[in-house]
Amino acid sequence: MIKAGIIGDGYTAAELLRILAGHDEVEVVSVLSTENVGRRIDSLFPHLTGFCSLECEESDVERLIGRCEVVFLALPHGLSVNIALRLLENDIKCVDLGADFRLKDPSLYREYYELEHGAPEMLNKAVYGLPELYRDQIKRSAIVANPGCFPTGAILPLVPLLAQGIIKTDGIVIDSKTGVSGAGRTVKPASHFCEVNEGIRAYGVGTHRHGPEIRQELSLAAGIKVDMIFTPHLVPMNRGILSTCYAQLADGINAGSVRKVLEDSYRDECFVRVLPDGTMPHTKWVYGSNFLDIGIYTDTGSSRVILVSALDNLTKGASGQAVQNMNLMLGLNERKALMYAGVHP
């Protein structure tokens, strides 16, 4: 069995443990924590009872050296850099679920995360962890930057169309709705039940940290800087993200090209499903799964393109995608421990 470690004990760590409990080639041998040292992980997350009984260990990276071949960093931004460097020095592969290696421009990291990056020379060595786009690079990498949940839902529908010149590179609008688990397990006033229930609100308007991450990947696909607006909204549900992306057909492009390009791009991809004409995604269809669903509408009169995507923010948006990346990095079957349907209703 390949030995894995997890640094962190929040929702994404619990989701990693849930998924990896079904992996027959990887065993989690250590979970590091700062606030719950000495507590069993199944006492923190009782749904893991019978699946994982590890005690949380002190958050010291040295505890993992010599014990693990791969480590998941399930940490807030700013905490992964030094840990990752130490792990890499000891030939331990890393999947960073945080933001520290996603942006290639350290000035953007400084602007949006209000920190100087601790190892800017590593930004071009870390591979952005969207397997559908960067599978070959992920297979050869020792460190993968697991994408943000919102970016996954926006990038996968839009990139094939930009790469093939099907839509214009300006005026793209991305409107996303997310469940509350995206805010993490730490108690915050804005995520209290009374603040969230029976309401919906926009947040991070024009300033959300996933905006430059989305723009980076869309611009790489298009070959020029893409003009886009991203606005997230918080809705009263636990899990899931529904993103609606608006764009314009490029001049001279037939509306049918949108569906053809997306179906051709994802025909052989296990975890991206392009839905039939007239069917739009529902977050319940992907709840608890590693699938991302895409619905397509094109208006021939206005040349407007509307793409709707749905994913589970904790699975394909975080831990499921991290396991998908790990499988590739270790030379395993990419689908290992991830082939299960969403929970519906």
CATH number for the domain harbouring residue 225: 3.30.360.10
Q: Is 9 among the domain residues?
A: yes
Instruction: Label residues 109-124 b or e (16+ Cβ within 10 Å = b).
Output: beebbeeebebeebbe
Q: Looking at the predicted structure, is the pLDDT value of residue 42 above 90? A: yes
Looking at the structure, tell me whether residues 161 and 291 fall in a common domain. Answer: yes
Q: Strand ranges (DSSP E) for the chain? A: 2-7, 26-33, 57-58, 70-73, 93-96, 127-128, 143-145, 172-178, 201-202, 228-234, 241-248, 272-274, 292-299, 304-311
Looking at the structure, tell me whether residues 67 and 120 fall in a common domain. Answer: yes
Q: Is 200 among the domain residues?
A: yes
Task: Please check whether residue 262 is in contact with residue 160, taking contact to mean a CB–CB distance below 8 angstroms.
Answer: yes
Number of domains composing the chain: 2
Q: Looking at the predicted structure, is the pLDDT value of residue 298 above 90? A: yes
Looking at the structure, tell me whether residues 52 and 83 fall in a common domain. Answer: yes
Q: Is the dihedral of CA 246, 220, 262, 332 positive or negative?
A: negative
Looking at the structure, tell me whether residues 199 and 135 fall in a common domain. Answer: no
| Edge-to-edge strand ranges of the sheet holding 70-73 | 57-58, 26-33, 2-7, 70-73, 93-96, 143-145, 127-128
Mean pLDDT of the chain: 96
Looking at the structure, tell me whether residues 201 and 155 fall in a common domain. Answer: yes
Q: Is 137 exposed, middle or buried (0-12, 13-18, 19+ CB in 10 A)?
A: middle
Q: What is the pTM of this model?
A: 0.96
Looking at the structure, tell me whether residues 115 and 164 fall in a common domain. Answer: no
Looking at the structure, tell me whether residues 48 and 110 fall in a common domain. Answer: yes
Instruction: Please pick, among 52, 56, 94, 149, the residue that the annotation labels catalytic.
Output: 149
pLDDT of residue 186: 78
Q: In angstroms, rounded to a whole number, what is the distance separating the alpha carbons of residues 68 and 44? A: 23
Q: Is 20 among the domain residues?
A: yes
**Can the peptide bond before residue 345 be classed as cis, meaning omega within 30 degrees of 0?**
yes
Q: Is 335 among the domain residues?
A: no
Q: Looking at the predicted structure, is the pLDDT value of residue 48 above 90? A: yes
pLDDT of residue 191: 83
pLDDT of residue 190: 81
Tell me the percentage of the chain whose pLDDT exceeds 70. Answer: 100
Looking at residues 108-136, what average pLDDT do you find? 95
Q: In angstroms, rounded to a whole number, what is the distance separating the alpha carbons of residues 102 and 216? A: 9
Looking at the structure, tell me whether residues 171 and 122 fall in a common domain. Answer: no
Domain that holds residue 142: 2-147+316-329
For 154-196, the pLDDT digits (tens) are 999 999 999 999 999 999 999 999 999 988 887 778 888 888 9
- Which amino acid type is present at position 27? E
Residue linked to tokens 């039939």: 276
Q: In angstroms, rounded to a whole number, what is the distance separating the alpha carbons of residues 95 and 127? A: 10
Q: Is 337 among the domain residues?
A: no
Q: Could you report how far apart the first and last alpha carbons of the chain are, in Å?
A: 35
For 219-266, the pLDDT digits (tens) are 999 999 999 999 999 999 999 999 999 999 999 999 999 999 999 999
Q: In angstroms, rounded to a whole number, what is the distance separating the alpha carbons of residues 161 and 231? A: 21
Which helix (DSSP H) or strand (DSSP E) does residue 263 occupy?
helix 256-266
- Give catalytic status of residue 149 as yes or no: yes
In the numeric block, which tokens belong to residue 101? 């290696």
Distance of CA 241 to the CA centre of its chain: 11
Looking at the structure, tell me whether residues 142 and 154 fall in a common domain. Answer: no
Task: Look up the CATH number of the domain holding residue 88.
Answer: 3.40.50.720
Q: Which of 161, 153, 152 is nearest to 298 (CA)?
A: 161
